[in-house]
Amino acid sequence: MQIRLSSLLVAAAVAAMASPVLAQKPVTDQMIENDAATPGDILSWGLGTQGQRYSPLKQINASTIGKLVPAWSFSFGGEKQRGQQSQPLIHEGKMYVTASYSRIFALDVKTGAKLWKYEHRLPEGIMPCCDVINRGAAIYDNLVIFGTLDAQLVALNAATGEVVWKEKIDNYADGYSNTAAPIIANGLVMTGVSGGEFGVVGRVEARDAKTGRLVWMRPTVEGHMGYTYDKDGKASENGVSGTTGKSWPGDLWKTGGAATWLGGTYNAKTGLIYFGTGNPAPWNSHLRKGDNLYSCSTVAIDAKTGKIVWHYQNTPNDGWDFDGVNEFVTYEEGGRILGGKADRNGFFYVNDAKTGQLVNAFPFVKKITWATGIDLKTGRPNYVPENRPGDPTGGADNKGKSVFSAPSFLGGKNQMPMAYSPDTKLFYVPSNEWGMEIWNEPVTYKKGAAYLGAGFTIKTLSDGPIGALRAVDPKTGKIVWEATNNAPLWGGVLTTGGNLVFWGTPEGFLQAADAKTGKIVWKFQTGSGIVAPPITWQQDGEQYVAVASGWGGAVPLWGGDVAKKVAFLEQGGSVWVFKLMK
C-alpha cells in the first residue's frame, strides 16, 4: 500500500526547534569491526565492513510495515539537486549524510534538525565521469571523513564540522576524482580513485585515520610500484604490482585505468580488503593485447601491508567497458568464508575470500552476448569473438565494426550495492536488462582528456521493464524471485531480520518486499528518483529506515535511448526517515 505524508512531519519540525547537540563518543576499531551486529549505529558503508547490508532488526516486518510512515525529511537545499547516491552513517543520535557537489550534513536522527554542514570548495574544471555524486563517508575516533570531486580527502570534527585535516589524493586536472565512501580497518582509512575514462592509474591508498598521513599505496595496474611511508613521509618501495609488460603491450600500462572508484569492503577474519577495479584504458581493446591486469578484477589486499594477496579477473582484455568495481560481499557458508560479486558484465561470481579460488559463476541477467559462460576450472570467460567491437585500423571512416552487446556498459549491475541475508542465504541484486551498439575508434592519450577510443549508443532490449530486483541463490545460481521495474534500477538494497528487502526506484518510490517471496508489501513516493541505498537502525527502542532521494547519476548522462525513456523524471535532493506510527 502507498503511504502519504503524516502529521508526524509537523511534530518533527516542532521538536527540531529545541533539538540539542548530542555528545560524541569516539568510534574505535572494535566498534567498526562489530558494526554489523550493533543495529543502534551504522559506522560503515555497507552496514558493516563486509558489505552485506543486512540488519537483524525485526520491529519493522510484514505484520507491522503498514504502519511505517515518515518521521521527517531534510532537503539538501540550493540548486545543486543532482544525483544523490549517499549511504548515511548513524552514531550517537546523529546522521552524517553526504550530498552532490561534495557536501556533507550532520542531522539529529530524531528530528532532522541540521547540526552542521560542510560544503567543499570545488575548483573550476573538475571532470567527474558520471555526475557530481558522493556515496558516503567513514567515521573514526571523533572524525567524519569523506572524499571530494577534486580528489581530496577531508576529515571533519564530528561534533562541529570543522576541518581537522585535509589531504590531496591526486591532481583533478589530470582526470582524478573521488566519489566513493572510504572504509576503515585497523585505524587506517582506505580509499580508491576515480577517473578511468581519463587514463588515470588506479590504486588503493591507506592513511592514518586520525592524521591523514599516508601509510601505504598499492597500484592496481600491473607494472606500477607500490610504496610504504614512514612517519616523516619518506617512501620505501613495496614491490611492483604484477610483472611489468606481462599483460600490457608497449607503454599502455602507464595510462592503464583500472580505477577503484566504488570503494572497498573488509573482512576482519581474513585481514583483507577487497577492491573492485574498473575498465582498462582506452576502451579499444585491440590496442592492448593481453589480459591487462589488474583491470576489471577483484583485488584482495593485506590491510596492514598493502600487498596484493590474490586477484581474480572477471573480464580479461575488456572491450566493452565492463568495469569490475562492483562490491565483493563476504559471507560464511559451511565453515568457509566466501565472497559474492554481481559484475557489470552480467555474471555473478562466488570466490573463496581467503584464496580467490572461483567457486561458482552464473548469469544474473537474461541476455549476455559477449560470452557464453565462465569456465569454472580456468576461471576464464568463454568469449564470443564476433561480438567484440572491431579493430578500427584500416576500417572505413576510421571506425571498427560495430556490434550489438548485452549487457550495455552501464552493466547488468552498476554502482548500486546489493544485499545479502544470512537468514535466507540469498543475495538481492538490483539488475538491468539493456544493450548497446558499440564500435572502436583511433585514440591518442592526452593528460586530462577523455581517453575512450570507442563510440556507443545505449539501447533498450524490448518495450518491457528494464530493471529487476532479483533474489539470487549463490550456491545454485538460480533466481528465486524477481520484482521488475519499468525504468532501470540505480539504487542499492537493504535486507533485514524482519524478512524484508528495501530498495528505491527512479520513479521515486522507496519500497519493501517479502525477502522470501518478493511480494511488495509497502511503498512510499519520495518526490524524486532514488539512486542511493537505504539503511535501518534502532534509536531509543524504535527502528528507523532512511534513504537519500535525488535522481541523477550515469543513466541520464550516458543512457542513450534509455535516457530518453526516463527524461520525465525530476531531480531532487533530500533524505527521508521513516518509523512505525504509534
Q: In what order do the strands lie in the sheet with 479-485?
A: 419-421, 426-432, 467-472, 479-485
Whole-angstrom Cα distance, residue 61 to residue 521?
A: 10
* Preceding omega of 331 cis (within 30 degrees of 0): no
Reported for 162-169, long-range contacts at CB under 8 A and 24+ positions apart, including other chains, are: 163/118, 165/211, 165/212, 166/212, 167/207, 167/212, 167/214, 169/193, 169/205
Give the C-alpha distances (Å, rounded to integers) separating 323 from 42, 227, 466.
28, 25, 20
306: helix, strand or coil: coil
| Rama region for 18: left / alpha / beta (φ>0; ψ in -120 to 50; rest) | alpha
Q: H-helix or E-strand containing 563?
A: helix 560-565
Pairing of strands 138-140, 54-55: unpaired
The residue from 41, 131, 321, 323 that is catalytic is 321
Active site residue 352: no
Q: Identify the burial level of 457 via C-beta atoms within 10 angstroms of its C-beta, where 0-12 means exposed, 13-18 middle and 19 or more buried.
A: middle
Q: Identify the burial level of 520 via C-beta atoms within 10 angstroms of its C-beta, where 0-12 means exposed, 13-18 middle and 19 or more buried.
A: middle
Q: Which among 298, 290, 111, 261 is positioned nearest to 179, based on CA atoms? A: 261
Q: Are 108 and 142 in contact (CB under 8 A)?
A: no
Q: In what order do the strands lie in the sheet with 138-140?
A: 138-140, 143-147, 152-157, 163-168
Which stretches of 109-224 are assigned E, i.e. beta strand? 114-119, 138-140, 143-147, 152-157, 163-168, 183-185, 188-191, 203-208, 214-219
Those residues whose C-beta lies under 8 Å from the C-beta of residue 394, and which sit 6 or more positions away, are none
What is the separation, in whole angstroms, between the first and last Cα of the chain? 18
Those residues whose C-beta lies under 8 Å from the C-beta of residue 433, and which sit 6 or more positions away, are 365, 366, 367, 406, 407, 461, 462, 465, 466, 467, 468
Those residues whose C-beta lies under 8 Å from the C-beta of residue 124, and which sit 6 or more positions away, are none
Rg (CA), the chain: 22
Q: Are 422 and 170 in contact (CB under 8 A)?
A: no
Place of cell 508526524: 8
Residues identified as active-site: 321
